[in-house]
Structure 1
Amino acid sequence: MLATIAGLAGTTGLAGVAQAEDINIILCGDTVTPVYLELFAEWDAANPDYKVVPEVVGWGQCQDKVTTLAVAGTPVDIAYVGSRTLKQFAINDLIVPVPMTDEEKAGYYNYVPETVTFEGTQWGIPVAFSTKALFWNKDLFEEAGLDPETPPKTWEEQLAFAKQITENTDAAGFGMVAKSFDATMHWFLHWVYTNNGSVIDADGNITLNSPQNLAALTAFQEMVPYSEEGPTAYEQNEVRAIWLDGGLAMMHCSVSCAGRGTEAGINWGVAPLPTGPEAQGPGTLLITDSLAVFKGTGQEDKVIEFGKFLTSPENQLAYELSEGGLTPLRPSAEVDALVADTPHWKPFIDGIEYGGPEPLFNDYIGLQNAMIEMVQSVVTGAAEPQEALDKAASELELYK
């Protein structure tokens, strides 16, 4: 998406953009959530010279539009973006830093600030958070002769359960995501972060080719025979659809699958993601989306103030609870009450402590493509895990 920015940015002249008192915000989706409408009205009442003007752009076009405007020298004030894009925006001088105080950082769950941090500076404001857990179909467990109330806790158990289910029912044991979509990289990172692995360290060193990740990719390979047929044809929503139809016994999913499973009549359970041999505790991939403040509007300081208002602890929690499928960004008494009242939330919170952030790369499309190719080559049998890791690690050096 930003592959041509380096060539374009030098020709657009971001300075001198006409100042506008409106704060223009691009949001991704279909509609503006009612919580945001209330917060926009509250902001407008307190800041009559800086009225919020939202624009909603569909998920498929949202990132492209934000990028095109920035490169053209007519940036929107603030926009909802995937945090994975922040490093590219920052390197190409298209956004401004949004530094966090130590107190602000401490207010978030573990590693959330790292999802927006590049070279010690924060470049966005976290606004949406996703963690994953293991969902299992209790009826399929029982049909296969497994205890329906006992999910797998380790990769070894997960593999054994998937094999037993595949061999003793008409369903596949495990839902594997391996299509040419970014979710394939995310799915593999679940395994990385449940075995104390990483992709890149704080100093920018590529750490993909490690014993922990070799074990993860090997475990991924071993699961293929007990997954849905032809996993390279399936992305996460398609795998979820098979699970909702009763065709899968286990899958990794966000908390949104709880409600959907109940609506579909699935007798489901949810537990922390099974862990590998090097795990220090339950883990998960920590994905955030962020609000990025774009450079060249002439009112960046006021826009940062607006962004921090929108994502203040109280306002952010109201937004998260209204959305239903978002993991809270910050611990709080309200979150503790949520877990107590709705126990299926617990695995999504418990995985955070030993989870890991989505890696920030200069070329995140290059990162995704290298990781997807690595996973697919192993899933299809075109390469063995060590060979695939070697190749991907070498390619990632070009994209960091």
Structure 2
Amino acid sequence: MKRSRIVILLFLFVTMILLAACNGSSESSGAEDGGDDGGGEADEEITLEFWTMQLQPTFTDYINGMIADFEEENPNITINWLDVPAGDLEQKILADVAAGNAPDLVNLNPAFGGSLAELDATVNLDEALTDEEISRYVEGAWEASQLDGETYGIPWYLDTPVTLNNTEIYEAAGLDPEQPPETYEEAKEYAEIIKEETDQYGYFPSLDLSLPLQHMELMGVPLTNEDGTAAFNTPDGVEVFEYFTELYQEDLIPAESLTGDQREGTNFYQSGQVAFGVNFFIAEIQENAPDIYDATVPSAAITGDSGKTTTSVQNLVVPEQSGYQEAAVDFALFITSAENQLEFAQLTPILPSSTEALEDPYFTEPPEDADPMELVRITSAEQLPNAELVVPPMDNFNELQTVMYDAMSKAMLGESTSEEAIAEAEEEWNAVVAD
């Protein structure tokens, strides 16, 4: 762990303990003498502070309507809703926990939630929910918010990646768009053919943020041993580095695959410069490039020897500081009910974490003459029962993903051999874990 990170975490942890000892409960909840077990909550007036991540203004009406329904069913509870920009949320929640002002329920992703769980600042939801309540959620989504064997988040809305294929480029290269690549090796073969036949890029495999870690796992290379130390410095791990190095150095993928963010892939695809890839934004393509959208056929996400499909998760976390944990859990269960999740999913391209909601024909039966957006939804939902968070929450996650990205970059740019780069990544990874 970098020194700055350890100082921040220690400061937050110590401050949180001191505040808890002085104040006994969160000021934001208005709790005074109530304990964390939620005793007496049904009879007292409660105000819950609820934070979401960048849902306004698009979903303001939906969230407000859901809050109104919950308050009608629970007349003693008032919900104060605050929407926070995604880029600010992690630091804000850590700072408010340190200041003793944590919300009662907060929408986080597994990495942000893991930052709180590292501080023992979250309610153990394995204990707060019954087995029947836990069984309502997709198993892989439930397991996505676990750290050191404890669940710190209730899954809310999900996604699985889908490959988008430009049929016009396929046909120009003499390829069958009904037979898109399913594996990394096939993706490379298609990229070679498309480059040779059309002088265009076939494949855009983004290497932004945690994606290098995902590629390793999907290609069958475990990242860690049981103690969190690096397990990837193996011949198979070197092969992954070699795979991306060859794609890059042979100009089979755009340079922006390495240097740009995930949005760059969408930009290349919607401008007709790349034939296929994963993690493109279909709604943006529909709006900005209708001709490309009409030529798009979705297919299952590209995977490797693992055979795995990953999922992304937004969850709901109850901070330990909440003076009304039972009410906060009840509100989280209400938000993630099958009915509310189905309504949410019909407003935007997301998947519900509720197994009951996923049984709705909206996710299982494509309409006649389905358009690409509808086919993406069906394809994504089909993958979900077997999908998992292939890179689970880890201590010091941001530092570890940077270690992998930096090492892969050195190999791809020719600054180190793949063997040297992965050995350096192993050394730096283990230093972060041990620090």
1:398 Cα offset (Å): 4.3
2:161 paired residue among 132, 144, 153: 132
Normalised TM-score (structure 1) = 0.87
2:223 paired residue among 195, 199, 202: 199
Alignment of 1:51-66 (within 5 A): 51-66=78-93
The answer on 1:244 being equivalent to 2:273 is no
Alignment of 1:243-392 (within 5 A): 243-253=269-279, 256-257=281-282, 260-261=285-286, 264=289, 265-266=291-292, 267-276=295-304, 278-279=305-306, 281=307, 283-324=308-349, 326-332=350-356, 334-341=359-366, 342-352=374-384, 353=386, 355-392=388-425
Query: 1:74 is matched with which residue?
Result: 101
Cα RMSD of the aligned pairs, angstroms, is 2.7
3-state SS in 1 of match to 2:346 = helix
3-state SS in 2 of match to 1:270 = strand
1:258 Cα offset (Å): 6.0
Query: 2:240 is matched with which residue?
Result: 216
Query: 2:258 is matched with which residue?
Result: 232
Query: 2:197 is matched with which residue?
Result: 168
3-state SS in 1 of match to 2:365 = helix
Q: Deviations over 1:147-206 (max 9, x none)?
A: 23321123222111111212332432211323xx52xx22x3443343344323666454
Query: 1:10 is matched with which residue?
Result: 14
- C-alpha contact (below 8 Å) 1:193/1:354 kept by paired residues: no
- C-alpha contact (below 8 Å) 1:287/1:358 kept by paired residues: no
Percent same amino acid among aligned pairs? Answer: 22
3-state SS in 2 of match to 1:296 = coil
Separation in 1, partners of 2:132, 2:236: 33
3-state SS in 2 of match to 1:397 = helix
3-state SS in 1 of match to 2:14 = helix
Which structure's residues are more often helix, by fraction? 2
Separation in 1, partners of 2:421, 2:286: 35
Compared with structure 1, are the counterparts of its residues 149 and 363 closer, same or farther at alpha carbon in structure 2 (3 Å cutoff)? same
- C-alpha contact (below 8 Å) 1:199/1:359 kept by paired residues: no
**How many residues get paired?**
390
Counterpart amino acid of 1:269? V
Counterpart amino acid of 1:391? E
Unaligned runs of 5+ in 2: 31-45, 367-373
Counterpart amino acid of 1:242? F
Separation in 2, partners of 1:55, 1:356: 27
Normalised TM-score (structure 2) = 0.81
1:69 Cα offset (Å): 0.9
The answer on 1:23 being equivalent to 2:56 is no
Deviates more, 1:132-141 or 1:203-212: 203-212
Alignment of 1:147-166 (within 5 A): 147-166=176-195
